[in-house]
Structures are given as structure tokens and as C-alpha cells.
A and B are shown apart, each in its own frame.
Chain A
């Protein structure tokens, strides 16, 4: 099973974001490096949820914002490692919508359940496969690694 290495500070920052936007979904980008089959997250970047029409159960990141985040990350030697979002009062399990709209094969998708305003379970899934036709979500281990450091943007 592949591993998502992340510091406690960044892990907590993702979860706190979900509490702040509750009862709406939060979303953001994981930045880091791929090494030895695992993602090492060295920064998380918050993003706006453009789905204001249904923000309690949908999220979308403006691609223009994603372009800016990617550009800034590349300047710092980072890649887009994946994405995170919250499920307000809903399990931290990927939904049919999450699956249908997942296109970053090889990247990590982190989901935090926010129950009654408090972050509960956080799960990570690797979008595995080779193409849209055979993609699948595989569970990832989230390993809190203090040696990795990182910044929350």
C-alpha cells in the first residue's frame, strides 16, 4: 500500500480548514515530492470552493487557481501530490461524485469527515490505474512524519 507522508502541522491544517468551512466542503491542494513509491507532502495550499450552489456536498477548484498554485509550487521544486476536501456530516469515504470527477491518476485524494463542526476521520486514497477507463481508488496509509516539515498556504 502506498503511503502519504505528512507532518502533523499540515495534517491538522487540512482538518482545521474543514472545520472552518463547515457546514460547507473545503478543498485544497497537496504539494510535495514523489519518492520510492510514496508521496511526501511538504505544503498544503487552500483553495476556494467554486460550488457555491451546493457547497454542503460538492466542491470544485477553479482551474485558474490551480494553475497559479501549480506554478508557484514548481518554483519551489514541488509537484501537485494530490488534493483534499471535507465531507460535512458524511463519512470520510469517497463518493460516486468524487470518483467520477477524479482525473489526477497517481495522485492522492484526502477526505476528512467533519461531524457537527469537528474534524473526525481522515482517509486518503490513491487514484490508481492507467487511464479513465481503468482508474480506481486504492486506500493509502497516512503517516504522520515530523521530519518532513512543510508550510500551509
Chain B
């Protein structure tokens, strides 16, 4: 099966956007992906070995969290697993850590 790697994690897979692995389940596929890539594993899993909360994993078009078997869901050779970090934010709670307060920049350049 193919695993789609998001932009931020490609540095851990030699810049590749897709990695082919062979595994029976979603969990097996993620393990196969990270077995020899400890730095990548650190970015995908927390200290308890669970996929980090902000990392979404989609089996084809389905969020693995909502599949009946979750990460134990079976995968087929022609399936695609997509790793996609969440994206959110907004102007709420605009107070910033003082360490970053010097980074305000107002510009548009031609």
C-alpha cells in the first residue's frame, strides 16, 4: 500500500511524498513506515506510542479514528493511507508568549 507523507515530514523520508509498505493493518503500515525511521516515529507518535492528537490518518477517504477497528483495520495492497496534520487557529486568545513578541512584522512587498 501507499502512504502519503505530508510536507513537514518529508525530510525524514528523503524528500519522498509517497512511501510503499506492505502490512496487514493500519498500525502495521505505520510501524513499517517508522521502523527504521526513529525521527519520523517521534513526530507521529507520543511517548505512550499513540498517534499524536493533531495527526490525522486517513485510510482512503475514511478517518481511521472513526473506523470500527481503528488502527487495527485491515488494509489492502491498493489502499492509500494519508498522514495529514490538523490545521486550525484564529484570532481568539491573541495574547502571545513574550519570547515571540518581537516577531510582529507588517509588510507586503513588490
Hey, what's the 0/1 contact readout for B51-76 against A, CB within 8 Å counting as 1? 01011101001010000000000000
**Alpha-carbon separation in the docked complex, A67 to B81 (Å):** 10
**CB within 8 A of B8: which of A64, A66, A105?**
A105
Closest to B105 in A: A139
Closest to A98 in B: B89
Taking the complex as formed, is A95 at the interface, i.e. its CB lies under 8 A from any CB of chain B?
yes
Taking the complex as formed, is A52 at the interface, i.e. its CB lies under 8 A from any CB of chain B?
no
Taking the complex as formed, is A21 at the interface, i.e. its CB lies under 8 A from any CB of chain B?
no
Contacts of A104 in B (CB 8 A): 6-8, 85, 87
* Contacts A67-B58, A106-B8, A142-B108; A96 near B86 (Cβ below 8 A): no
B4 touching A95 by the CB < 8 A rule? Answer: no
B87 touching A96 by the CB < 8 A rule? Answer: no
Taking the complex as formed, is A143 at the interface, i.e. its CB lies under 8 A from any CB of chain B?
yes
Question: Count of chain A residues with Cβ under 8 Å from any Cβ of B?
Answer: 58
**Alpha-carbon separation in the docked complex, A64 to B11 (Å):** 24
Q: How many residue-residue contacts, CB under 8 A, span A and B?
A: 145
| Chain A, interface SS category | mixed
Contacts of A27 in B (CB 8 A): 87
Hey, what's the 0/1 contact readout for B69-105 against A, CB within 8 Å counting as 1? 0000000000000101111111111111100100111
B→A interface (CB under 8 Å): 4, 6-8, 11, 17, 42-43, 52, 54-56, 58, 61, 63, 82, 84-97, 100, 103-110
Give the top 8 A-B pairs by smallest Cβ distance, nearest first. A58-B90, A139-B105, A98-B89, A60-B88, A90-B91, A103-B85, A57-B92, A63-B56
Known: A97-B90, A101-B87. 16 other contacts (CB 8 A): A25-B91, A27-B87, A51-B90, A57-B90, A57-B91, A57-B92, A58-B92, A74-B4, A87-B90, A95-B91, A99-B89, A103-B8, A103-B55, A109-B89, A131-B43, A141-B107
A→B interface (CB under 8 Å): 11, 25, 27, 34, 51, 54, 57-61, 63-64, 66-67, 70-71, 74, 79-81, 83, 85, 87-88, 90-107, 109, 121-123, 125, 131-132, 136-139, 141-144
